[in-house]
Structure 1
Amino acid sequence: MSSELETFTMLPLQIDPQTKALTATSGSRALQSELASLNALHRSLLALDTPNQVPPPPLPVNPKRSANVSKLRDSGNTEYRKGKHADAVKFYTLGLQMALTRPLWEPQQLVREEVAALYANRAQAHMGLQNWAEGASDAEASVEAKRVGNSKAWWRRGKCLVEMGRLIEAKEWVSKGLEMEGDEGELVALLKDINVKLGEKSNSS
């Protein structure tokens, strides 16, 4: 017994060379209805205005914006060295706002590099204020922008997690950082410290 799927029916369709409308010299009422709907859709699409504007060509990186981002980062670094951590956070935040609002046609890798550095620096400023949750969040954002070659951000989030008492999470994070960065000295030392604290915690419980 043959299935309907195995049956092929040649439909008497014709296409108008001018309008491209489909017609059938014969066929069911359902076929005629389908063709009428299809032709109506075709006419409505043709009636749409064809966009005649082309997007602007890619522009080179705006040197003024790059200079401003660097200046804000440097200003933040200066305030951090003075111990003015809250002021440093403000400068890094302004730098992030400027970096993140670059036009979409500018290289995304440039944005990632700028953002990774600014988030990592702001994480350290938050750590100076003992804002561990904010520091952990910024360090994680830095790693998301740049996963490899960013050991300071990996370390800073790990340190913030330790300070918040989230030792298991800190161990997992630092271990992952070591996979990305190799046997980086600060990360290795932090992992040892975490393991000691975990050992002390398990012994005291």
Structure 2
Amino acid sequence: MSHSHTHAPGESHSHSHSPAPQQQQQQQQQMVMPPPDPALQAAIEQDFKPVDLKLGPPNDSTALCAKHGLEVCAECGVDFAALNNLAKLFVANPTLACPPPPQVVQPQRSQAVTKTKEDGNTLFKAQKHVQAISMYTMAANVASQRLPWEPNQLMREELSTVLSNRSAAYLAAGDAVGALVDADAVISLKKPWSKGHFRKAKALVELGRLREAKDAIQLGLQFEPMNAEMNGFLGEIEAGMKKETRIKAQ
């Protein structure tokens, strides 16, 4: 049979014909999955334990123990919480591909975190520290609820910034302990970021723990030694320690 044909106006002349039957057979053979490793398969089957379960609402999307209808059941030895949380994500987001593509990000969530954080910043500048704390808390909740397959680094970046701001708001509102807790959380999320160590030092000074504050600020300066704000605050801490020593000597 002849392969002569015409192209539509403006259509590219580059094309490919359907593979011959022999090529199709070769492609199908290449797509066949290799058999499982016998030793690995035996190990999996040895550890496999069948579990009686039933499906629950909504729309039979949750796994429950068959005997008691519980998500977590000590008697039946099952815990479907993590599995059901993942199922709820797919039920709430029916347009998501399964499995989802790698590195997918919800732009609406990023926008919500940014908008709520900026609203908190506006309240903080207006000296409305309690309201700012509430807004930062809302932003932190939104950031921490990213879908499990989204890049973890994005969540850490957003959350560390929000908690740093909330630490400052707690301190301004007179809650040095809350400020210290948030500063420690920032450090655990993003240790090389000097801002977390600065927030911690500020909270410790307010609590009268000058030696620990000095250690915190010096650790932060290891990551950013030329930071003028931190170097200036270190000088204030050292001056306070000297004054404290003189008072104790009297």
Contact 2:195 2:220 in 1 (8 A): no
CA contact (8 A) 2:103 2:151 kept: no
Provide the C-alpha distance between the structure 2 equivalents of 1:45 and 1:176, rounded to a whole number of angstroms. 47
State which of 146, 157, 161 in structure 2 corresponds to 1:117: 161
The TM-score with structure 1 as length reference comes to: 0.71
**Aligned counterparts of 2:46 and 2:198: Cα–Cα separation in 1:** 59
Structure 1: state its 5+ residue gaps. 1-19, 21-38
Structure whose CA Rg is larger: 1
Give ranges in structure 2 of 5+ residues lacking alignment: 1-37, 52-97
Q: Does 1:156 align with 2:204?
A: no
Q: Where is the helix percentage greater, Structure 1 or Structure 2?
A: 1
Instruction: Work out which structure has the larger RCO, using CA pairs closer than 8 Å and 6 or more positions apart in sequence.
Output: 1
Secondary structure class of the residue paired with 2:124 = helix
Matched, 1:136 2:180: yes
User: 1:176 maps to what in 2?
Assistant: 219
The alpha-carbon distance between structure 1 residues 87 and 46, as it changes in their structure 2 partners (threshold 3 A), is closer
Equivalent in the alignment of 2:88: none
Which one-letter code corresponds to 2:211 in the other structure? I
- C-alpha separation between the residues in 1 aligned to 2:245 and 2:226? 26
What number of residue pairs does the alignment pair up?
A: 162
Give the aligned residue type for 1:101. Q
SS state at 1:123 partner: helix
Deviation for aligned residue 1:42:
8.7
Deviations 1:155-194 (A, max 9, x none): 2210110111001111111111111222311111111111
Where in structure 2 are the equivalents of 1:179-194 lying within 5 Å?
179-194=222-237
Residue 63 of structure 1 corresponds to which residue in structure 2? 107
Distance 1:57 1:188 in 2: 45
Q: Give the whole-Å Cα distance in 1 for the aligned partners of 2:47 and 2:188.
A: 42
- SS of the residue corresponding to residue 189 of structure 1 reads helix
Q: Which amino acid aligns with 1:128?
A: A
Whether 2:144 is the aligned partner of 1:100: answer yes
Question: Which amino acid in 1 is paired with 2:220?
Answer: G
Decide whether the 8 Å contact of 1:147 with 1:180 is kept in 2: no
Match of 2:244 in 1: 201
Deviation for aligned residue 1:48: 6.0
- Provide closer, same or farther for how the CA distance between residues 72 and 203 of structure 1 changes in structure 2, counting only shifts above 3 A: same
1:202–1:70 distance in 2 versus 1, CA, 3 Å? same
Pick closer, same or farther for the CA change 1:47–1:104 going to 2, 3 Å. Answer: closer
The amino acid across from 1:190 in the alignment is: F
Provide the identity percentage: 33
In 2: Cα distance, 1:126 partner to 1:158 partner: 14
What residue is the counterpart of 1:36 in the other structure?
none
Alignment RMSD:
2.5
